[in-house]
């Protein structure tokens, strides 16, 4: 079976006097106009790859805001390819020249309508058409489930002290690489040690302390879970203050919390693997997107 080629990219935008502008690149070897994108490097996280490829092709570091619909197609020779896309706001740092002029020889910023007309491919045009319908993003919260920490029944001590295992340490490093591109300004871990340990690689990268809050921990009594979820939702509202926050919580809290925030009755679709997480994108007091990291 032919292995799928994985790539990632972004719809990179910046404010303009009369709205926004979209970044479009020209690829001389294909003679086309495209959104910036490229292949993942080995086991690289798709989000980290999207930010890297956009920087390499445009000279601008993008700040992720939400996941956009992905694209899948078949390349010549019958090779399947998928591209993960993110909405990226242009950062404030100075732009630099693209790394390889043989891959990208022109970078232009256009109003959305002109960008749509310039782009060579229908999938790229549809992504820009989708972006212009989105409300302005005013805040981001990362909600992460702690990494693997062995099995509860195999740990003899206080379960709150059960540490991440070798698999969990690798997951925490992978999550740190992806979460760091959001540049969170505040880190919060639920009470169990494994939640703090999951955030430690990210804290090291960013030079930030980790606060501990029991609000995001599973209660000892399962009957108390609904009340704990409501308290966690209220705390998230308090944290929606313009500072980007990364929170590490637990597997029984996250699905019900996200369902409550998203106005859903069934928490099952929000089940989160260990070491994985979500981006909560806010526009004012409204949750406008839930994206898996």
Alpha-carbon distance of 289 to 293, in angstroms, equals: 12
Give the contacts of 205 (CB within 8 A, at least 6 positions apart).
Answer: 176, 180
Please give the model's pTM, rounded to 2 decimal places: 0.87
Instruction: Please state which CATH number belongs to domain 5-131.
Output: 3.90.79.10
User: Would you say domain 139-292 falls under CATH 3.30.1360.120?
Assistant: no
Structural domain boundaries of the chain?
Answer: 5-131, 139-292
pLDDT value of residue 100: 87
Contact 46, 40 (CB under 8 A): yes
pLDDT value of residue 51: 95
pLDDT value of residue 211: 98
Backbone angles phi, psi at 288, to 5 degrees: -105, -15
pLDDT value of residue 12: 98
Alpha-carbon distance of 253 to 260, in angstroms, equals: 11
C-alpha 212, offset from chain centre: 23
Alpha-carbon distance of 20 to 126, in angstroms, equals: 17
Place of tokens 């998928």: 82
Contact 43, 32 (CB under 8 A): no
Alpha-carbon distance of 84 to 100, in angstroms, equals: 22
Q: Are strands 5-16 and 79-90 parallel, antiparallel or unpaired?
A: parallel
Give the contacts of 280 (CB within 8 A, at least 6 positions apart).
Answer: 140, 141, 142, 143, 236, 261, 287, 289, 290
Alpha-carbon distance of 38 to 106, in angstroms, equals: 16
Alpha-carbon distance of 134 to 22, in angstroms, equals: 14
Show the low-confidence residues of the chain (pLDDT under 70): 1
For residue range 108-119, list pLDDT tens digits in order. 999 999 999 999
pLDDT value of residue 1: 61
> Which token pair is 190?
């639920």
Give the contacts of 154 (CB within 8 A, at least 6 positions apart).
Answer: none
CA gyration radius, the chain:
20
Backbone angles phi, psi at 252, to 5 degrees: -85, -20
Contact 168, 148 (CB under 8 A): yes
User: Of 223, 232, 284, 283, nearest to 254 (Cα)?
Assistant: 232
User: CA separation (Å) from 210 to 122, 167, 200, 213?
Assistant: 44, 22, 8, 10
Give the contacts of 206 (CB within 8 A, at least 6 positions apart).
Answer: 180, 183, 184, 187
């Amino acid at each position: 079976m032919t292995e799928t080629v994985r790539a990632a990219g972004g719809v990179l935008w910046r404010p303009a006097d009369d709205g926004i502008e979209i970044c479009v690149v020209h690829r001389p070897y294909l003679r086309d106009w495209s959104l910036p994108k490229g292949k993942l490097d080995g086991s690289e996280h798709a989000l980290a790859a999207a930010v890297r490829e956009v920087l390499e092709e445009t000279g601008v570091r993008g700040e992720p805001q939400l996941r956009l619909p992905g694209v899948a197609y078949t390349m010549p020779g019958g090779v399947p390819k998928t591209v993960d896309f993110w909405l990226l706001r242009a950062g404030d740092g100075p732009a630099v020249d693209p790394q390889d002029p043989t891959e990208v020889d022109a970078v232009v910023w256009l109003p959305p309508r002109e960008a749509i007309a310039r782009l060579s491919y229908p999938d790229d045009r549809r992504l820009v058409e989708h972006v212009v319908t989105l409300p302005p993003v005013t805040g981001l919260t990362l909600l992460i489930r702690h990494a693997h920490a062995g099995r509860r029944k195999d740990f003899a001590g206080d379960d709150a002290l059960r540490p991440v295992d070798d698999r969990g340490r690798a997951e925490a490093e992978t999550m740190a690489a992806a979460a760091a591109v959001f540049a969170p300004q505040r880190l919060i871990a639920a009470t169990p040690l494994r939640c703090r340990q999951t955030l430690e690689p990210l804290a090291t990268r960013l030079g930030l302390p980790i606060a501990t809050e029991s609000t995001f921990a599973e209660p000892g009594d399962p009957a108390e879970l609904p009340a704990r979820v409501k308290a966690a939702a209220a705390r998230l509202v308090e944290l929606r203050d313009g500072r980007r926050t990364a929170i590490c919580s637990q597997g029984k809290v996250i699905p019900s919390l996200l369902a409550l925030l998203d106005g859903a009755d069934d928490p099952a679709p929000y089940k989160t693997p260990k070491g994985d997480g979500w981006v909560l994108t806010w526009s004012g007091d409204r949750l406008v997107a839930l994206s898996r990291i």
